[in-house]
Amino acid sequence: MNAQRKRIIITEIQYWKQNKLLPEHYCDFLITLYARGEEDGKEEIKGSKGILVREKNTRWITMMVTSLLAILVFGSMFFLRTNSIWPISAAVILAAILLMISLWKSRTNTNFSSLLYILSAFLLLGLSLKVWLLFFEDETMLLIGLLVLNCLLWLFAGRLLKLLYFTISGSVGLLLIIGFLFFSM
């Protein structure tokens, strides 16, 4: 067994021992077994976290940074009034990148890919609204058409990718738009 793999296993066992996931004498036995009696296993890493805990923390930090970046780009589309091409370009690029990463990660990490799908959908909705605000502000039927298109896209993505939250949001969005049209006439 190579040294790095042995070190990872020993670190995990020490984490189990610190958090009392296994009885202490089991952990001592396993450490001795993997260290083969060397001093490598005798030293205890104080305050070290297990590999899985570190990966989970890294995953959460990545999710938070990605969410904040998407929120920042979404907000900049509506708050920056002078030069609106930059926020729109950033939103298009970020939405495309998020979609590519989510399709790539969908097989391994469902939580992260779900977040990326949701962020991409909101960026696409924001882009639709921004384009309507810039070019077609007086055309309410075009706004309704863009919203219906977004809802149909969510419904299609929900059915295709078997994502219940997209199916529900697309259906509810279409029902709300139909209800709005019914009551406004």
pTM tops 0.75: no
Find the radius of gyration of the CA atoms of the chain.
25
Count Cβ atoms within 10 A of the Cβ of residue 170 and give its class: 0-12 exposed, 13-18 middle, 19 or more buried: buried
The pLDDT value recorded for residue 41 is: 44
Question: Among the ranges 22-31, 107-116, 149-158, which has the highest mean pLDDT value?
Answer: 149-158
At 47, is the pLDDT very low, low, confident or very high (cuts 50, 70, 90)?
A: very low
At 143, is the pLDDT very low, low, confident or very high (cuts 50, 70, 90)?
A: very high
What tens digit of pLDDT does each residue of 65-97 get?
888 888 888 888 778 776 677 777 888 888 888
The pLDDT value recorded for residue 39 is: 55
DSSP state of 21: S
Q: What is the mean pLDDT of the chain?
A: 81
Place of tokens 């610190």: 18
